[in-house]
Amino acid sequence: MSKIFDYFSGNYAQARQAFRDAASDAGAQTQTYHNPATGPGGISLSTETARVGPGESERLLIALSGTHGVECFCGSGLQVGLLRSGLAAEAARHTAILLIHAINPSGFAWVRRVNEDNVDLNRNFVDHGTPHPANAGYEELREAICPRDWINGRTTADAVLDAYREVHGMMALQSAISSGQYGDPAGVFYGGREPVWSNRTLREILRLEAGKARHIAFVDLHTGLGPYGTGEVMNNHHASYPGFHRVKDWFGGEATSDDEGSSSSAPVSGDTNVAVIEEAPRAAVTGITLEYGTMPVKPMFDSIRADNWLHIHGRLDSPEGRAIKAQIRQAFYPDKNDWHRMVWERWVDVVRRMAHGLAES
């Protein structure tokens, strides 16, 4: 079990090299997509892909990491482990596998959830030619969610949020903060006003790699919500879609859904599953979000709020800046052996069940 811990890297540059090395050793077909932004110290940024298994397979398992950059500490490690452990070779007997590493490389490099434009990628896959989804709760609470004075004004801001929760309930507050908003470019969970680089790149990858697939199993790797180390299988489909029922068939009662009120996540608009469905229109898509719990919701959200304040109003090289960066990293990546073991064991289970589901399709 000790080798599990070697799959996980301590920063973006190490993780990118680990993924490249693992893909090369596994004999995978690889591609690199260069992001025009830069990371700390001016380092280059890129998204990598690795494909293993039958080249012409009509069945394709896609695993995406780094939708929220800081969450790629976990997702990258799971992808590297998939290649290093023999699990990819096992699954590839039944399906081709496409690994998309660090789709939001800027967020990973800077230890942020958002991209280089402060956009939450998992809210960006909407039709930007039509009116964006409204979030009245965010508009009401925006000054409390993102106070200009985080150091001295947080107590007052939290009192406003607590009052909202008392009246409307915890899930309503969570939805106001995290469902996504499109009117405050300097705020949290901002969905953007146009498709960002990571959106366009994901679509390019899918058009290239998934065009011939007829059955796609898609898993987007995330951390944050839920009990410590638990991997929640969130159904990416609304209940009226065929993919919803395939997820139920593959995972039974373990699969949660915001349509059914069983998910740890508030409903969101514009997630990555939209791109898979739109760019592989001939495929039957079965999509999930695999969400690994880290800590209770409030401190996790507080780390996002603090990081937002830091990049908008603060200084990265200040004592407060260093403390906030340590806080958000811990909120989305508990770098502990027991957590590594738990997330890895769940990953092995999920990959095997998705590969089996594809084989039965």
Identify whether residues 143 and 277 lie together within a single domain: no
Q: Is there a contact between 77 and 8 (Cβ–Cβ < 8 Å)? A: yes
Crossing angle of helices 170-178/297-313, nearest 10°?
A: 30
Closest to 269 in 3D by CA, of 104, 138, 98: 138
Task: Give the list of residues 6+ apart from residue 231 with CB closer than 8 angstroms, or none.
Answer: 290, 291, 292, 342, 343, 346, 347, 350
Domain of residue 86, CATH code: 3.40.630.10
**What number of other Cβ atoms are within 10 A of residue 315's Cβ?**
11
Residue 55's pLDDT is what? 74
Question: Does some domain include residue 157?
Answer: yes
Residue 351's pLDDT is what? 97
* 184, pLDDT greater than 90: yes
Identify whether residues 153 and 230 lie together within a single domain: no
* 287, pLDDT greater than 70: yes
Is residue 316 very low, low, confident or very high in pLDDT (cuts 50, 70, 90)?
A: very high
Rg (CA), the chain: 19
Query: HSE (CB half, 13 Å, CA atoms) of 253?
Result: 0
Greatest distance between any 2 Cα atoms in the chain: 59
Q: What DSSP character marks residue 215? A: E
Structurally, the chain folds into a number of domains equal to 2
Q: Is there a contact between 289 and 236 (Cβ–Cβ < 8 Å)? A: yes
Q: Is 201 helix (H, G, I), strand (E, B) or coil?
A: helix
Identify whether residues 166 and 281 lie together within a single domain: no
Dump pLDDT digits (tens) for 162-172.
999 999 999 99
Dump pLDDT digits (tens) for 137-180.
999 999 999 999 998 999 999 999 999 999 999 999 999 999 99
Question: Does some domain include residue 85?
Answer: yes
Cα(36)–Cα(58) distance, rounded to whole angstroms? 33
Identify whether residues 22 and 101 lie together within a single domain: yes
Identify whether residues 67 and 115 lie together within a single domain: yes
Question: Does some domain include residue 122?
Answer: yes
Question: Does some domain include residue 183?
Answer: no
User: What type of residue is 19?
Assistant: F
Question: Does some domain include residue 75?
Answer: yes
* 306, pLDDT greater than 90: yes
Dump pLDDT digits (tens) for 108-128.
999 999 999 999 999 999 999
Mean pLDDT taken over the chain: 96
Range 241-261 average pLDDT? 94
Residue 350's pLDDT is what? 98
Identify whether residues 203 and 304 lie together within a single domain: no
Is residue 40 very low, low, confident or very high in pLDDT (cuts 50, 70, 90)?
A: very high
What is the span of the domain harbouring residue 284?
2-129+188-294+333-359
* 289, pLDDT greater than 70: yes
Identify whether residues 158 and 68 lie together within a single domain: no
Question: Does some domain include residue 251?
Answer: yes
What is the rounded end-to-end Cα distance, in angstroms, of the chain?
A: 33
Is residue 361 very low, low, confident or very high in pLDDT (cuts 50, 70, 90)?
A: confident
Question: Does some domain include residue 234?
Answer: yes
Range 301-309 average pLDDT? 97
Dump pLDDT digits (tens) for 261-283.
899 998 898 999 999 999 999 99
Is residue 59 very low, low, confident or very high in pLDDT (cuts 50, 70, 90)?
A: very high
Cα(23)–Cα(10) distance, rounded to whole angstroms? 19
Identify whether residues 43 and 171 lie together within a single domain: no
Residue 266's pLDDT is what? 87
Residue 187's pLDDT is what? 97
Closest to 312 in 3D by CA, of 193, 191, 184: 184
Identify whether residues 201 and 52 lie together within a single domain: yes
Is residue 2 very low, low, confident or very high in pLDDT (cuts 50, 70, 90)?
A: low
Crossing angle of helices 136-145/150-168, nearest 10°?
A: 150
Range 230-239 average pLDDT? 96
Identify whether residues 251 and 145 lie together within a single domain: no
Residue 259 burial (10 A CB sphere; 0-12, 13-18, 19+): middle
Residue 94's pLDDT is what? 83
Identify whether residues 203 and 72 lie together within a single domain: yes
CA separation (Å) from 201 to 185, 197, 212? Answer: 21, 6, 18
Cα(23)–Cα(33) distance, rounded to whole angstroms? 15
Q: What percent of the chain has pLDDT over 90?
A: 93
Question: Does some domain include residue 308?
Answer: yes
Identify whether residues 6 and 100 lie together within a single domain: yes
